[in-house]
A and B are shown apart, each in its own frame.
Chain A
C-alpha cells in the first residue's frame, strides 16, 4: 500500500461546478497537509497548507483534514476553466519544509469545461 493514495482521474466538470478532490494516507505520523496545483510542464504551486485536523478556507478553495479517517479533501467552488490543472496532495510528518520531506499523491488531473 502506498503511503498516499490519490485518484489520478481525469476529472471533467462544467464551469461553475463544485469540485471535490481527495487523498487517503496510511502514515499516522503525518501532521502537515498541503495541496499544490500544477499546470502542464510547470512546477507545483502551493494552494493550501493545513496543520492537523480541521478546515481552512481561502477564496473559492476549502481544505479539509480528517486525521481520524486519514482522509484529506480540497473543494473548489464556482470552478473556472483556469482551474484546469493537476492537483497534488502532499503531506509531511514534520514542518513541511526543512524539517521534513513531502510525500505526494500521484495527482488528479482536472478539466473545467466552459
Chain B
C-alpha cells in the first residue's frame, strides 16, 4: 500500500506568478483535502475533492483552485501569488464511507512554497 505523495518538495516563485502543486492519494482512497500550514501554525483547510467535484471549501479566495482526476490524484493551483502564500501545502487523502462512521485523513509530506 503506497502512502500519500506530493510534488514538488520545494518551490520558489515570485509575487504574481502562478503555481501548480500535485498530490497522489493513498491506494484505495477516493477523497483529497488540501491544507495550508504557515510557519508556527496548524494546517488550515483550503478545500476538498470527492469524485472529481469540490466538496467543501475553507476561507480561501478564488485564486486558490483545484482539480481531482479519475485516478483520485489532485492538483492545487494558486494564481497571482502573494507573499503571504508562502507556506507548507499539505494534501490528505481518505476513503469516504457513505454509510457514515469515521474515516481518517492521511497526510503527505507537503510542498514548501516560498514566494519572493
User: In the complex where A43-B90, A44-B43, A101-B58 touch, is A96 in contact with B104 (Cβ < 8 A)?
Assistant: yes
A:61-101 near B, CB below 8 Å: 88, 90, 95-101
Residues of B with C-beta under 8 A to A46: 104-107
Bound complex: CA of A1 vs CA of B30, how far in Å? 34
Contact indicator B40/A8 (Cβ below 8 Å): yes
Q: Does A32 contact B (CB under 8 A)?
A: yes
A:34-70 near B, CB below 8 Å: 34, 36, 41-46, 49, 51
Most chain B CB within 10 A, of A6, A51, A90, A97, is at: A97
Q: How large is the interface on A (under 10, 10 to 19, 20 to 34, 35 or more residues)?
A: 20 to 34
- Least CB distance, B11 to chain A, in whole angstroms: 14
Q: Does B112 contact A (CB under 8 A)?
A: yes
Out of B45, B90, B103, which one reaches A97, CB within 8 Å?
B103
Bound complex: CA of A88 vs CA of B37, how far in Å? 12
The prevalent SS among residues of A at the interface is loop
Contact indicator B48/A98 (Cβ below 8 Å): yes
Contact indicator B31/A105 (Cβ below 8 Å): no
- Least CB distance, A14 to chain B, in whole angstroms: 25
Bound complex: CA of A97 vs CA of B32, how far in Å? 9
B:66-116 near A, CB below 8 Å: 88, 90, 92, 94-97, 100-110, 112
- Please give the residue numbers on chain A whose beta carbons come within 8 Å of chain B beta carbons, in ascending order: 4, 6, 8, 32, 34, 36, 41-46, 49, 51, 88, 90, 95-107
- Please give the residue numbers on chain B whose beta carbons come within 8 Å of chain A beta carbons, in ascending order: 4, 6, 30-31, 33, 35, 40-45, 48, 50, 55-56, 58, 88, 90, 92, 94-97, 100-110, 112
Task: Add 17 more A-B contacts to A45-B107, A90-B42, A104-B44 (CB < 8 A).
Answer: A4-B42, A36-B107, A46-B107, A88-B42, A95-B97, A96-B102, A97-B33, A97-B95, A97-B97, A98-B33, A98-B50, A98-B94, A98-B96, A98-B97, A102-B33, A105-B42, A106-B41
